[in-house]
Amino acid sequence: MNENISIKNWDVNDRPREKMLAKGIISLSDAELLAILIGSGSTKESAVDLCKRILNSVDNNLHELGKLQLAELQKFHGIGEAKAISIMAALELGRRRKISDVLEKKTIQSSEDAFGIFQPLLGDINHEEFWVLLLNSANKIIDKVKISQGGISGTIVDVRLILQPAIIKSASAIIVCHNHPSGNTEPSNEDKKITEKIKAAAEIFNIRFLDHIIIGDKKYFSFSDHGI
Protein backbone atom coordinates (compact mmCIF):
# COMPACT_ATOMS: atom_id res chain seq x y z
CA MET A 1 0.00 0.00 0.00
CA ASN A 2 1.80 3.14 -1.20
CA GLU A 3 -0.93 5.72 -0.84
CA ASN A 4 -0.58 8.33 1.87
CA ILE A 5 -3.14 7.44 4.54
CA SER A 6 -5.08 10.68 4.76
CA ILE A 7 -7.75 11.48 7.33
CA LYS A 8 -9.98 12.45 4.42
CA ASN A 9 -10.21 8.77 3.43
CA TRP A 10 -11.54 7.69 6.84
CA ASP A 11 -15.12 7.12 7.83
CA VAL A 12 -16.66 10.48 8.81
CA ASN A 13 -17.18 9.36 12.42
CA ASP A 14 -13.47 8.53 12.75
CA ARG A 15 -12.12 11.85 11.50
CA PRO A 16 -10.82 14.01 14.39
CA ARG A 17 -12.15 17.29 12.95
CA GLU A 18 -15.61 15.89 12.31
CA LYS A 19 -15.59 14.16 15.68
CA MET A 20 -14.76 17.46 17.37
CA LEU A 21 -17.61 19.24 15.57
CA ALA A 22 -20.08 16.49 16.44
CA LYS A 23 -19.03 15.65 20.01
CA GLY A 24 -16.92 18.58 21.18
CA ILE A 25 -13.17 18.98 21.51
CA ILE A 26 -13.12 17.26 24.91
CA SER A 27 -14.05 13.99 23.16
CA LEU A 28 -10.74 13.87 21.29
CA SER A 29 -7.78 11.88 22.54
CA ASP A 30 -4.31 13.44 22.74
CA ALA A 31 -3.35 11.54 19.59
CA GLU A 32 -6.38 12.85 17.72
CA LEU A 33 -5.60 16.43 18.73
CA LEU A 34 -2.04 16.03 17.48
CA ALA A 35 -3.35 14.44 14.28
CA ILE A 36 -5.37 17.57 13.56
CA LEU A 37 -2.15 19.58 13.87
CA ILE A 38 -0.12 17.49 11.44
CA GLY A 39 -2.98 16.78 8.99
CA SER A 40 -1.67 13.55 7.49
CA GLY A 41 0.44 10.55 8.36
CA SER A 42 2.98 8.65 6.32
CA THR A 43 2.74 6.03 3.58
CA LYS A 44 2.49 3.33 6.24
CA GLU A 45 0.25 4.78 8.95
CA SER A 46 -2.48 7.31 9.55
CA ALA A 47 -1.92 10.63 11.29
CA VAL A 48 -3.56 9.31 14.45
CA ASP A 49 -1.45 6.14 14.48
CA LEU A 50 1.68 8.20 13.91
CA CYS A 51 0.74 10.50 16.80
CA LYS A 52 0.02 7.50 19.01
CA ARG A 53 3.53 6.26 18.29
CA ILE A 54 5.03 9.63 19.14
CA LEU A 55 3.09 9.76 22.40
CA ASN A 56 4.06 6.17 23.27
CA SER A 57 7.71 7.20 23.01
CA VAL A 58 7.17 9.59 25.94
CA ASP A 59 4.87 7.25 27.93
CA ASN A 60 1.81 9.20 26.75
CA ASN A 61 2.94 12.16 28.84
CA LEU A 62 2.33 15.59 27.26
CA HIS A 63 4.75 17.14 29.72
CA GLU A 64 7.53 14.90 28.38
CA LEU A 65 6.39 15.53 24.80
CA GLY A 66 7.01 19.22 25.42
CA LYS A 67 10.68 18.45 26.06
CA LEU A 68 11.28 17.00 22.58
CA GLN A 69 13.35 19.19 20.30
CA LEU A 70 12.83 19.70 16.57
CA ALA A 71 15.38 17.06 15.56
CA GLU A 72 13.89 14.50 17.95
CA LEU A 73 10.40 14.91 16.48
CA GLN A 74 11.76 14.63 12.96
CA LYS A 75 13.15 11.19 13.73
CA PHE A 76 9.61 9.83 13.38
CA HIS A 77 8.86 8.80 9.81
CA GLY A 78 6.14 11.11 8.53
CA ILE A 79 7.16 14.10 10.66
CA GLY A 80 9.01 16.72 8.65
CA GLU A 81 10.17 20.13 9.77
CA ALA A 82 6.81 21.84 9.22
CA LYS A 83 4.86 19.23 11.22
CA ALA A 84 7.44 19.22 14.00
CA ILE A 85 7.24 23.02 14.23
CA SER A 86 3.42 22.84 14.41
CA ILE A 87 3.59 20.40 17.33
CA MET A 88 6.18 22.50 19.18
CA ALA A 89 4.20 25.70 18.57
CA ALA A 90 0.99 24.15 19.96
CA LEU A 91 2.77 22.91 23.07
CA GLU A 92 4.38 26.32 23.59
CA LEU A 93 0.96 27.98 23.37
CA GLY A 94 -0.30 25.59 26.04
CA ARG A 95 2.68 26.44 28.22
CA ARG A 96 2.10 30.17 27.81
CA ARG A 97 -1.59 29.77 28.60
CA LYS A 98 -0.64 28.02 31.82
CA ILE A 99 1.73 30.86 32.71
CA SER A 100 -1.00 33.43 31.99
CA ASP A 101 -3.44 31.56 34.24
CA VAL A 102 -0.88 31.43 37.06
CA LEU A 103 -0.13 35.15 36.81
CA GLU A 104 -3.75 35.93 37.59
CA LYS A 105 -2.79 35.15 41.17
CA LYS A 106 -0.40 38.04 41.65
CA THR A 107 0.32 37.80 45.37
CA ILE A 108 3.06 35.41 46.49
CA GLN A 109 2.33 33.88 49.89
CA SER A 110 4.47 30.75 49.88
CA SER A 111 7.23 28.88 48.09
CA GLU A 112 4.52 26.86 46.34
CA ASP A 113 3.15 30.08 44.82
CA ALA A 114 6.61 30.94 43.50
CA PHE A 115 7.02 27.42 42.15
CA GLY A 116 3.70 27.82 40.34
CA ILE A 117 5.05 30.89 38.57
CA PHE A 118 8.32 29.34 37.45
CA GLN A 119 7.50 25.68 36.83
CA PRO A 120 5.83 26.32 33.44
CA LEU A 121 8.92 28.30 32.41
CA LEU A 122 11.65 26.00 33.69
CA GLY A 123 10.15 22.58 34.36
CA ASP A 124 10.74 20.97 31.00
CA ILE A 125 13.76 22.69 29.45
CA ASN A 126 17.05 20.85 29.01
CA HIS A 127 19.38 23.73 29.94
CA GLU A 128 19.76 25.80 33.09
CA GLU A 129 18.24 29.26 33.48
CA PHE A 130 18.27 31.74 36.36
CA TRP A 131 15.32 34.07 36.97
CA VAL A 132 14.30 36.71 39.52
CA LEU A 133 10.75 37.52 40.60
CA LEU A 134 10.23 41.17 41.58
CA LEU A 135 7.64 41.93 44.28
CA ASN A 136 6.26 45.07 45.89
CA SER A 137 5.82 45.64 49.64
CA ALA A 138 2.61 43.54 49.63
CA ASN A 139 4.38 40.64 47.84
CA LYS A 140 2.46 41.31 44.64
CA ILE A 141 4.28 40.53 41.42
CA ILE A 142 5.84 43.46 39.59
CA ASP A 143 7.71 41.44 37.00
CA LYS A 144 9.77 38.32 36.34
CA VAL A 145 13.15 38.63 34.62
CA LYS A 146 15.52 36.05 33.13
CA ILE A 147 19.04 36.78 34.38
CA SER A 148 21.09 34.15 32.60
CA GLN A 149 20.99 30.99 30.52
CA GLY A 150 23.58 28.24 30.46
CA GLY A 151 24.08 24.63 29.57
CA ILE A 152 23.00 21.34 31.11
CA SER A 153 25.36 21.58 34.08
CA GLY A 154 25.00 25.22 35.06
CA THR A 155 24.75 28.90 34.30
CA ILE A 156 26.83 31.90 35.35
CA VAL A 157 25.02 34.25 37.73
CA ASP A 158 26.07 37.85 38.31
CA VAL A 159 24.54 39.27 41.50
CA ARG A 160 24.60 42.77 40.01
CA LEU A 161 22.34 41.62 37.17
CA ILE A 162 19.87 40.22 39.71
CA LEU A 163 19.61 43.45 41.69
CA GLN A 164 19.61 45.76 38.68
CA PRO A 165 15.97 45.14 37.62
CA ALA A 166 14.90 45.15 41.28
CA ILE A 167 16.40 48.61 41.77
CA ILE A 168 15.13 49.98 38.44
CA LYS A 169 11.57 48.80 39.13
CA SER A 170 11.65 49.74 42.84
CA ALA A 171 11.00 46.20 44.04
CA SER A 172 10.68 45.75 47.79
CA ALA A 173 11.41 42.03 47.69
CA ILE A 174 12.81 39.37 45.37
CA ILE A 175 12.66 35.62 44.91
CA VAL A 176 15.26 33.97 42.70
CA CYS A 177 14.79 30.70 40.90
CA HIS A 178 16.78 28.37 38.69
CA ASN A 179 16.30 24.86 37.37
CA HIS A 180 18.30 21.64 37.48
CA PRO A 181 17.72 19.83 34.16
CA SER A 182 18.83 16.59 35.84
CA GLY A 183 15.70 16.69 38.00
CA ASN A 184 17.72 16.60 41.24
CA THR A 185 16.62 19.58 43.32
CA GLU A 186 19.28 19.32 46.03
CA PRO A 187 21.29 22.59 46.15
CA SER A 188 24.95 22.40 45.20
CA ASN A 189 27.71 24.22 47.07
CA GLU A 190 27.66 26.84 44.31
CA ASP A 191 23.90 27.27 44.80
CA LYS A 192 24.47 27.90 48.50
CA LYS A 193 27.30 30.36 47.84
CA ILE A 194 25.33 32.43 45.33
CA THR A 195 22.37 32.49 47.72
CA GLU A 196 24.57 34.01 50.45
CA LYS A 197 25.92 36.60 47.99
CA ILE A 198 22.42 37.60 46.88
CA LYS A 199 21.27 37.90 50.48
CA ALA A 200 24.20 40.13 51.44
CA ALA A 201 23.80 42.35 48.37
CA ALA A 202 20.03 42.69 48.79
CA GLU A 203 20.46 43.83 52.39
CA ILE A 204 22.64 46.73 51.24
CA PHE A 205 19.77 48.06 49.13
CA ASN A 206 17.11 47.25 51.76
CA ILE A 207 15.49 44.68 49.47
CA ARG A 208 13.96 41.64 51.16
CA PHE A 209 15.39 38.40 49.78
CA LEU A 210 12.53 35.97 50.38
CA ASP A 211 13.63 32.70 48.80
CA HIS A 212 15.73 30.79 46.31
CA ILE A 213 13.76 28.09 44.48
CA ILE A 214 15.38 25.20 42.63
CA ILE A 215 13.11 23.47 40.14
CA GLY A 216 13.55 19.91 38.93
CA ASP A 217 10.76 18.98 36.54
CA LYS A 218 7.61 18.83 38.73
CA LYS A 219 9.24 19.22 42.15
CA TYR A 220 11.20 21.96 43.84
CA PHE A 221 13.53 22.88 46.70
CA SER A 222 12.97 26.05 48.73
CA PHE A 223 15.91 27.54 50.68
CA SER A 224 13.42 29.39 52.85
CA ASP A 225 11.34 26.30 53.67
CA HIS A 226 14.51 24.46 54.68
CA GLY A 227 15.77 27.33 56.82
CA ILE A 228 18.95 27.78 54.80
One-letter amino acid identity for 98?
Answer: K
- What is the pLDDT at residue 62? 87
133 with 87, same domain: the answer is no
- Of 99, 133, 163, at which residue does a domain stop? 99
- What is the pLDDT at residue 25? 86
- What is the pLDDT at residue 154? 60
Residue-number span of the structural domain to which 24 is assigned: 7-99
- What is the pLDDT at residue 67? 84
- What is the pLDDT at residue 42? 81
Predicted TM-score (pTM) of the model is: 0.61
Quote the number of domains for the chain: 2
The residue ranges of the chain whose pLDDT is under 50 are 1-3, 12-13
- What is the pLDDT at residue 217? 78
- What is the pLDDT at residue 152? 57
80 with 115, same domain: the answer is no
Q: CA-to-CA distance for 162 and 150, rounded, in angstroms?
A: 16
Give the single-character DSSP code of 212: E
- Of 44, 65, 99, at which residue does a domain stop? 99
Burial of 131 (0-12, 13-18, 19+ CB in 10 A): buried
- What Cα–Cα distance (Å) separates residue 10 from each residue in 7, 14, 52, 95? 5, 6, 17, 32
